[in-house]
Structure 1
Amino acid sequence: MKKESRTVIFDNELNIEAYSFKGVMQKFPNHFHKHFVIGFIEKGERKLSCLNKEYIVGSGDITIFNPYDVHTCEQINELPLEYRCLNVSEEIMEKNIINITEIKEKINFSPTVITNLYLSSLIKELHSLITKKSREFRKEEIFILILEYLVKYHSIPFENNYSVKQSENIKRVCEFLEKNFDKNISLDTLTSLTDFSKYHLLRSFTKETGITPYGYLETVRIEKAKNFLEKGVSPAETAFLTGFSDQSHFSNFFKKFIGLTPKQYQNIFINKNKSLEETNE
């Protein structure tokens, strides 16, 4: 079997992450991110589910996930996955879109799966330049070209995105989970925030968000954990701060969602800070 490889690099000039997975057979559970993910599949086939739609994706396909787009994917054959992606925060995306459109507006992208040779070649080139730690302005140029293409052909108004259409009951539950992610929460507590029964809450929440209440809590905990790790908090302390029972449970859970161990993820930002220090010397 081909050896598995997982690498992540943070680009200090563009302020984006570049992921590369090779030889991966892992199934990723139902989850969402709080950033944009622009991905490209080089090899392998996967069954992808996003926002209640299912896709079979493979070599040459581009995948776009907006913040809070709930998605999951798994292997459908014995060919391991080779995948590259760029993770772009909402802040960086908005800043660049304003430069392109000269209009301050929040937008999302659609559809989830795109096949376009021009766009895929740009994504591959940019990923390669980031991996090589290039400082040439070609890197920024390609990033702008990618976003320009997406804005021109695949942008939709933010309010039209499926993932932001929620009832007041479900919004209250989401807000509660976001604020109390480190606590032991009961289904009774969540139900008391609504005029639903437990069954109706589970059904309505899953229908509106694409994920169960507990799945939503799990994802929030992982996103919060990423923030702590980025700030240099130890994995053990991060596990405690995000409501996990122990560090082992946290580490296994983190890798299931992110594809990296907490320490591997934290090392990205240790290296980032070292690079910044070297630049300032």
Structure 2
Amino acid sequence: MKKEIRTVVYDDELHIEAYRFEGIVQPFPNHFHEYYVIGFMEDGQRVLSCKNQEYTIIKGDVLLFNPGDNHACIQSDNGTLDYRGFNITKEVMLDLAEEATGRRELPGFSRSVISDEEVTCYLRPLHELVMKSSHEFGKEESLLFLISLLIQQYGQPFESCIPECREEIEKACAFMEQHYAERIYLDQICRCAGLSKSTLLRSFAKSKGVAPYSYLENIRIGKAKKLLEQGVPPIEAALRTGFSDQSHFTNYFNRFIGLAPGIYRDIFKDMEEPPHER
């Protein structure tokens, strides 16, 4: 079995995260992110479920996830997953979109899986530059070309990619966003939304693609990521985001992000350390 290698780099010039997974067999459960994901299948074959559609993804495929797109994947052959990916926050994407198109509006990608050699020609070299911590301006140039091409070929207004949600479901989401650090009960969410438990569970899953508890855990993971980026110790991040203990937190973080919380925190640690005096 090929050894698993998981590498993540934060580029403080482009303000994006770059992931490189090699030899991975871990399945990823149904979840979503608050940021954009642009990924590339380096090798392997997986079954991807995204927004209630199923795809077989293979070497050479490019993955495009908008913020909020629920997705899951599992290996479908006897091999392993080799993957490159970028995570881009909505704030950074807004700036990139304005530079690329002249319009300050968030794009929404209309397709989740594409096979496009021109996109790949920008994506792979850019990823390698970020992973090598290159400071050449060609890195920013490639990122802008990539985003411009993706918006031109596969973009639409971000709002059109958001599924229509009943007012009651939005109330439930808002309640969890506000109280994620607390112990929340299903009864509380139902009272806030004005729905019975069975109606809430059915409607929520249909609208969001995940169950309410999974939605809450995704919110907590997103908040915990921001705390770890600020240097907060994993045990404190766990407590501040509503996880019952560090073990529970570590398990969820690794399942959704593919890295242990401490390893994720360490990529930002060196950036915050002052340079040594000569």
User: TM-score, normalization: structure 1?
Assistant: 0.96
Go from structure 1 to structure 2 and tell me whether the alpha carbon gap of 1:55 and 1:143 turns closer, same or farther (over 3 Å shift).
same
Aligned length: 278
Mapped to 2, the partners of 1:38 and 1:195 lie a distance apart of: 37
2:187 pairs with 1:188: yes
Q: Tell me by how many angstroms 1:124 deviates.
A: 0.6
Paired residue for 1:60? 60
Are the equivalent residues in 2 in contact too, given 1:32–1:69 (CA < 8 A)?
Answer: yes
2:261 pairs with 1:262: yes
Mapped to 2, the partners of 1:25 and 1:145 lie a distance apart of: 32
Mapped to 2, the partners of 1:262 and 1:10 lie a distance apart of: 15
Determine helix, strand or coil for the equivalent of 1:14. coil
Paired residue for 1:212? 211
Mapped to 1, the partners of 2:88 and 2:68 lie a distance apart of: 13
Structure 1 residues without counterparts, runs of 5 or longer: none
Are the equivalent residues in 2 in contact too, given 1:18–1:130 (CA < 8 A)?
Answer: yes
Mapped to 1, the partners of 2:15 and 2:117 lie a distance apart of: 25
Q: Tell me by how many angstroms 1:50 deviates.
A: 0.8
Alignment of 1:1-281 (within 5 A): 1-163=1-163, 165-274=164-273, 277-278=274-275
Percent identity over paired residues: 45
Mapped to 1, the partners of 2:277 and 2:87 lie a distance apart of: 25
Are the equivalent residues in 2 in contact too, given 1:10–1:272 (CA < 8 A)?
Answer: no
Q: Tell me by how many angstroms 1:279 deviates.
A: 11
Are the equivalent residues in 2 in contact too, given 1:172–1:193 (CA < 8 A)?
Answer: yes
Q: Tell me by how many angstroms 1:271 deviates.
A: 2.5
Go from structure 1 to structure 2 and tell me whether the alpha carbon gap of 1:269 and 1:149 turns closer, same or farther (over 3 Å shift).
same
Q: Tell me by how many angstroms 1:107 deviates.
A: 1.9
Are the equivalent residues in 2 in contact too, given 1:51–1:162 (CA < 8 A)?
Answer: no
Q: Tell me by how many angstroms 1:206 deviates.
A: 0.4
Cα RMSD of the aligned pairs, angstroms, is 1.5
Mapped to 2, the partners of 1:115 and 1:229 lie a distance apart of: 34
Q: What amino acid is aligned across from residue 223 of structure 1 in structure 2?
A: G
Are the equivalent residues in 2 in contact too, given 1:41–1:62 (CA < 8 A)?
Answer: yes
Q: Tell me by how many angstroms 1:188 deviates.
A: 1.0
C-alpha distance after superposition, 1:93-123 (max 9, x if no partner): 1011111221222221120001011111211
User: TM-score, normalization: structure 2?
Assistant: 0.97
C-alpha distance after superposition, 1:159-211 (max 9, x if no partner): 21144x21110111001111111111111111112232110100000000001
Determine helix, strand or coil for the equivalent of 2:193. coil
Are the equivalent residues in 2 in contact too, given 1:202–1:212 (CA < 8 A)?
Answer: yes
Determine helix, strand or coil for the equivalent of 1:156. strand
Q: Tell me by how many angstroms 1:244 deviates.
A: 1.4
Q: What amino acid is aligned across from residue 20 of structure 1 in structure 2?
A: R
Mapped to 1, the partners of 2:119 and 2:271 lie a distance apart of: 27
Mapped to 2, the partners of 1:137 and 1:86 lie a distance apart of: 18
Q: Which runs of 4+ in 1 moved over 2 A?
A: 271-274, 277-281
Q: Tell me by how many angstroms 1:53 deviates.
A: 0.8
